[in-house]
Chain A
Amino acid sequence: MILDPILDMFRGKAVTIPPLDGAFRPNTRLDDAPAFAELTEPDNLLVADGRLLASSGNAVHVIAAGAEPFVVETFPSSVTALAMSPSGELTVGLESGKLLIASREVSLPADIGCVTALAYAGDGTLWLANGSAEFWPSQWAADLMKKGASGSLWKRDPAGGAFRKVAGDIAFPYGLHTLGSDVLVSESWRHQLVRFDGATGNRSTVLTHLPGYPARLAPASDGGAWLTLFAPRNRLIEFVLQETTYRQDMIDQVPPAYWIAPALASNRSFLEPLQCGGIRTMGIHKPWSPSRSYGLVVRLDQKLQPRFSLHSRANGSRHGICSVVEKGGQLFIASRGGDCILAVDLAMGGF
């Protein structure tokens, strides 16, 4: 209507989110995929010496076909990031803000306390994403609900030495993917992928208006990348993000598990918020209903544009995917909300 711009001043604009369309067209591939292994809240996946490693809680497990996951190493607090250096040293970020390389603690600048992702460039440069200056990695929801944008990007030269801050004011960097001397960062709260220049720290957006909150990135065998989105955008959540007093009261008075906020898994407790579309009717939970959690893995081509995606929809269970890894023609997917690791055969195609 012609009067909309005027009326908007009184009522505010309609809250909208990007549709799941094009490369993001929904399917049920994640729910159809067989569970490769059962593991509680698997977070990071990594391939080391041909073995598949997965972090869960404060332990790193080896995952193999037909065998129970077994623990290779445990740490004093939860593992929040994994990486393997070109020389084969396992690099681990911890919830407590510590960084271990080959089990030796590396001293970090005081500003780093929220290691969300680690990545080695081909020459041995170590990139580190510090999600927030105020919260631990497990408190990511609080950072989002407080509209945090205090994340930063750090790097350490191949020769070693101290970490150097490349860029700051990033709204929760959650994934890293090296591109030569540059690095691609998933900036979760702004729903975008940003490329940072390795020398100057200049940023340029690569992909914006993602339909979810991007998490970690993983290299694909043909030069592209895999992007995981750990939760969907939701119009009610975007609305609550604009509602200052309600959001503040919610943070103060409601336990974080029951916030109107994105989640790695939902519908587990009757104390969680429910949206009208999510009501079970005649035994059916609509797959397209609004949801706080979702499973989404996106394939980016060499130009870092989305090609296709794998989904677990609102009525599915393989939600909260934070990490994937490609190994031997298979894509391994860690579903934190579904407590399992999935294996999808890439050779079969059909995407």
Chain B
Amino acid sequence: MTFRERLQSWRYNLVPDHLVGEILTKRWTDNAIPFLALVATLGVFGSIIPGFFKLSSLQESTRQLGEFSMVVTGMTVVMLGGGIDLSVGSIFALSCFSAVYVFFILEQSIWLALAASLATGLVFGAINGYLVGYLRLRAFLTTLVTFIFGRALFDILVTTYAADVQLSQAKSDVLDFIGDSTFWGLSVSVWLAIILAIITHIALTRSRPGWHVLAVGGSRRSAHNAGIRVRRTVFMTYVFSGFCASIGGFLIACRLSGAGPGTGLNLEIMALTAAVVGGVSLGGGRGSVIKGLMGAIIVLTMTNGLIRLGYGTGTNQMVLGIMLAVAVTIDIRWLKNRHKVLNEVYVAPVYLKMGETLSAVPGSGTPYALDNRLSAADHIGLGELEGPEDVILDRDDHLYCGTRHGEIVRFFAPDYVRSEVFAHIGGFPLGLAFDKAGNLISCVGAMGLYSVSPDRQVKRLSAETSRSWTSIVDDARLRDPNDCDIAPDGRIYFTDSTKRYDAHDWALDSIENRATGRLLVYDPRDGSTRTLLDGYRYTNGVCMAHDGKSLFFAESWACRVHRYWLQGPKAGTAECVIRDMPGYPDNINRASDGNYWMAWLGMRTPSFDLSLRHPDMRKRMTRRLPQDEWLFPNINTGGVVKFDDKGGIVEAMGDLTGGAHPMVTSMREHKGYLFVGGILNNRIGRYKISGADPNWTSPASYWGAQP
């Protein structure tokens, strides 16, 4: 190995590049930019303003923050529902005035003042909600109108009653407590804001109404089609926003013991900026309360900081405007390009030097030498079938296979012309096996391990195993269950080929070649699933040995077959029995002569083997070329190989023309015939095996003669 190659292997096998892509698939990465902005803002103002973090200064800021963040929480919910609420400032001011009027002028109790305040907010919110939600007016214009109307009303009321408020003698300990005191070091307004934020967060993420809001914001039409009451949901978001603004208004009434012309001025712009800067999408459906709060802190720190640095209102407004513009741009660009970034970085190839292999070229004289025998196979279901990955026959000679439409199709013996959909599972049914009771067990790609009873009842057996400690994406989920087989004691051994790609992207895993395949076992007695082996390059076919004491499983991208011992001195360990084959192994099944059939889904090519030693080249390839242009292993030519108990190769056959069976993913021997399936093929092949036992069947081999 050259020094350069050794460096490559260290660089690409030790540095976990794939984590970048996995982290990017997480929704919380959306929070990264606002969080960095938050840290930067606090850092900058904290360092240039002396005493910025002093307790007294913080106390005043946080009181303000409490009120402000409530308004932002309301705005966030409206925006998540796909709307916008410009009237929060005026609702805030009017609620403040309501409280002041009831308390100072009518001299009623503080609780009545709170009720008046809340009522004001709810009424204005309901007006907004009714106009926008039920009458379906434009949110922007409607709330602009309520904003102008509310503001005008507030200005009139404030000038009319300002003097009366000043002269009022009303006093209340509760009001002073709310306005000035602290509770465990935090002011009441902050406590209330935190409680409101937590409740809203839980409601949005964990409750039905919250999900409805997100669904409506994400896609109004889809939400409607899904049966969500869109209009009512939109209505409720505005009511909630009004509610939040009114609490904020009540709190400021308590803090300032009055209302002035400046109350709630420009609050709508600040709240909108806070929500957008925090990362709540203007388009709706994306965002969270936490983001809104981060935005609130950023905006408030910025405006307060600028005021303390001596800048006037004009500068402040301009800074807010610039922040809004930048945030909106980032929001839109990120939303639009996130999946592109993910696509570019997700494939993270590793270095692998494949072993030297014997040739499979026809006439090369090796046991692997392919011939053209399979092209002579009869076809079953030509043009009707799409993607029979695995095929299996029952005791009555009927033929079953999965299709890419998520169905199990049954062809009737003896001529296999008539067919029916035996069961619909969904996903992509791959490996098949019959258990002792005659249930059809299937590994369903993208779903899990399923069982179909003879009377067609579909039952899920397993969809998850235990999660490993170091995983970023949830690897408990079965992503690509591929093939299964059943031990004499009824336990089902099956493979999950990769943790990195979904079932339909299975071929991409060969480009990356990361060892994430698993062998698992499902125990029907207690319904548990355990991971037996992990870290293989695309585990594929599984086959119980004839004596039931061990099983064979294929490791596709490494071109190996392993034997896993169930009993005996080596129980629980795996050993490699065939290595460095010239083809990529897929399913393995029993043969009538005591040997085993193995399907080859494709062939190694020198150019692809070489690219495995150049992970950097593969990485650039995935970034700079569209997927259709990527270099793949040659999966246009496959074959069927027979091997013995010790891993010796008995014979190999193929379809070199590629006309009938270019890729072979499975084969099943039954009464002297070999039935051949392919995941990308449109037929099942039936090939007469010369010299095979004409009475041998797989169900009898596994479970004995007919009971």
Asked if A273 and B629 make an inter-chain contact with CB atoms under 8 angstroms apart, the answer reads no
The interface bits of chain B over 619-662 (1 if a CB of A lies within 8 angstroms of the residue's CB, else 0) are 01101111111111111110000000000000000001010001
Asked if B631 and A235 make an inter-chain contact with CB atoms under 8 angstroms apart, the answer reads no
- Min CB gap A274→B, angstroms: 4
Asked if A258 and B607 make an inter-chain contact with CB atoms under 8 angstroms apart, the answer reads yes
Which residue on chain B has the smallest CB distance to residue A249?
B610
Which of B474-482, B488-496, B677-685 faces chain A? B677-685
Q: Does A259 contact B (CB under 8 A)?
A: yes
**A275 in contact with B635 given A259-B607, A270-B656 (CB within 8 Å):** no
- The contact of A271 among B605, B614, B631, B680, by CB within 8 Å, is B605
In the assembled complex, the Cα of A253 lies from the Cα of B613 at a distance in Å of 12
The interface bits of chain A over 240-258 (1 if a CB of B lies within 8 angstroms of the residue's CB, else 0) are 0001011001100111001
Q: Does A13 contact B (CB under 8 A)?
A: yes
- Min CB gap A121→B, angstroms: 42
**A11 in contact with B623 given A1-B333, A282-B386, A282-B682 (CB within 8 Å):** yes
In the assembled complex, the Cα of A49 lies from the Cα of B631 at a distance in Å of 49
The interface bits of chain B over 222-263 (1 if a CB of A lies within 8 angstroms of the residue's CB, else 0) are 000000000000000000000000000000000000000000
Near A by CB (< 8 A), chain B positions 663-677 give: 663
In the assembled complex, the Cα of A245 lies from the Cα of B507 at a distance in Å of 25
Q: Does A200 contact B (CB under 8 A)?
A: no
Near B by CB (< 8 A), chain A positions 224-277 give: 234-236, 239, 243, 245-246, 249-250, 253-255, 258-260, 267, 269-277
Asked if B634 and A254 make an inter-chain contact with CB atoms under 8 angstroms apart, the answer reads no
Q: Does B4 contact A (CB under 8 A)?
A: yes
- The contact of B630 among A275, A281, A283, by CB within 8 Å, is A275
Residues of A within 8 A of B635 (CB): 274, 279
Q: Does A162 contact B (CB under 8 A)?
A: no
- The contact of B610 among A254, A278, A282, A289, by CB within 8 Å, is A254
**A11 in contact with B606 given A235-B629, A277-B628 (CB within 8 Å):** no
The interface bits of chain B over 588-630 (1 if a CB of A lies within 8 angstroms of the residue's CB, else 0) are 0000000000000001011110110110010011011111111
Residues of A within 8 A of B361 (CB): 269, 271
- Min CB gap A163→B, angstroms: 39
Asked if A279 and B636 make an inter-chain contact with CB atoms under 8 angstroms apart, the answer reads yes
Which residue on chain B has the smallest CB distance to residue A277?
B628
In the assembled complex, the Cα of A260 lies from the Cα of B507 at a distance in Å of 19
Asked if B636 and A239 make an inter-chain contact with CB atoms under 8 angstroms apart, the answer reads no
Residues of B within 8 A of A258 (CB): 605-607
Q: Does A295 contact B (CB under 8 A)?
A: no
Residues of A within 8 A of B695 (CB): none
Residues of A within 8 A of B386 (CB): 282
Asked if B628 and A260 make an inter-chain contact with CB atoms under 8 angstroms apart, the answer reads no
Chain A contact surface mostly: loop
- Min CB gap B333→A, angstroms: 7
Q: Does A15 contact B (CB under 8 A)?
A: yes
- The contact of B620 among A243, A253, A270, A275, by CB within 8 Å, is A243
In the assembled complex, the Cα of A13 lies from the Cα of B620 at a distance in Å of 10
Residues of A within 8 A of B387 (CB): 282
Q: Does B337 contact A (CB under 8 A)?
A: yes
Q: Does A280 contact B (CB under 8 A)?
A: yes
Residues of A within 8 A of B625 (CB): 14-15, 235-236, 239
Q: Does B371 contact A (CB under 8 A)?
A: no
Asked if B4 and A278 make an inter-chain contact with CB atoms under 8 angstroms apart, the answer reads no
Q: Does B180 contact A (CB under 8 A)?
A: no
Q: Does B344 contact A (CB under 8 A)?
A: yes
In the assembled complex, the Cα of A254 lies from the Cα of B682 at a distance in Å of 34
- Min CB gap B16→A, angstroms: 19
Asked if B680 and A279 make an inter-chain contact with CB atoms under 8 angstroms apart, the answer reads yes
Near B by CB (< 8 A), chain A positions 278-319 give: 278-283, 289-290
Asked if B636 and A276 make an inter-chain contact with CB atoms under 8 angstroms apart, the answer reads no
Asked if A239 and B621 make an inter-chain contact with CB atoms under 8 angstroms apart, the answer reads yes
Residues of A within 8 A of B610 (CB): 246, 249-250, 253-254
Q: Does A12 contact B (CB under 8 A)?
A: yes
Which residue on chain A has the smallest CB distance to residue B404?
A282
Which residue on chain B has the smallest CB distance to residue A237?
B629
In the assembled complex, the Cα of A280 lies from the Cα of B637 at a distance in Å of 9
Residues of A within 8 A of B637 (CB): 270
In the assembled complex, the Cα of A269 lies from the Cα of B636 at a distance in Å of 10
Asked if B605 and A273 make an inter-chain contact with CB atoms under 8 angstroms apart, the answer reads yes
The interface bits of chain B over 374-389 (1 if a CB of A lies within 8 angstroms of the residue's CB, else 0) are 0000000000001100
In the assembled complex, the Cα of A275 lies from the Cα of B590 at a distance in Å of 33
- Min CB gap B357→A, angstroms: 11
- Min CB gap B484→A, angstroms: 25
Asked if B617 and A243 make an inter-chain contact with CB atoms under 8 angstroms apart, the answer reads yes
In the assembled complex, the Cα of A11 lies from the Cα of B347 at a distance in Å of 14
**A280 in contact with B603 given A275-B629, A275-B632 (CB within 8 Å):** no
In the assembled complex, the Cα of A347 lies from the Cα of B554 at a distance in Å of 60
Residues of A within 8 A of B682 (CB): 282-283
Asked if A276 and B658 make an inter-chain contact with CB atoms under 8 angstroms apart, the answer reads no
In the assembled complex, the Cα of A335 lies from the Cα of B513 at a distance in Å of 39
In the assembled complex, the Cα of A57 lies from the Cα of B386 at a distance in Å of 44
The interface bits of chain A over 94-119 (1 if a CB of B lies within 8 angstroms of the residue's CB, else 0) are 00000000000000000000000000
Residues of A within 8 A of B680 (CB): 279-282
Residues of B within 8 A of A259 (CB): 607
- The contact of B603 among A246, A270, A281, A283, by CB within 8 Å, is A270
**A274 in contact with B620 given A1-B333, A15-B625 (CB within 8 Å):** no
Asked if B606 and A253 make an inter-chain contact with CB atoms under 8 angstroms apart, the answer reads yes
Asked if A11 and B624 make an inter-chain contact with CB atoms under 8 angstroms apart, the answer reads yes
Asked if B620 and A276 make an inter-chain contact with CB atoms under 8 angstroms apart, the answer reads no
**A12 in contact with B620 given A235-B625, A283-B682 (CB within 8 Å):** yes
Residues of B within 8 A of A236 (CB): 621, 625, 629-631
Residues of B within 8 A of A281 (CB): 680
Asked if A255 and B606 make an inter-chain contact with CB atoms under 8 angstroms apart, the answer reads yes
- The contact of A280 among B605, B624, B631, B658, by CB within 8 Å, is B658
Which residue on chain A has the smallest CB distance to residue B370?
A270
**A250 in contact with B607 given A271-B634, A274-B633, A274-B635 (CB within 8 Å):** yes
20 pairs, A vs B, C-beta closer than 8 Å: A1-B337, A11-B623, A13-B624, A236-B625, A236-B630, A239-B629, A246-B611, A246-B614, A253-B606, A254-B607, A255-B606, A258-B606, A267-B636, A271-B603, A276-B632, A280-B636, A282-B680, A282-B681, A282-B682, A283-B682
Taking A275-B632, A276-B627, A282-B681 as known contacts, 17 extra A-B pairs with beta carbons closer than 8 A to each other, sorted by chain A number, are: A11-B624, A235-B629, A236-B629, A239-B621, A243-B620, A250-B607, A270-B360, A273-B631, A274-B632, A274-B634, A275-B630, A275-B631, A276-B629, A276-B630, A279-B635, A280-B662, A290-B628
> Which residues of B come within 8 Å of A, CB atoms?
4, 333, 337, 344, 360-361, 370, 386-387, 507, 603, 605-608, 610-611, 613-614, 617, 620-621, 623-637, 656, 658, 662-663, 680-683
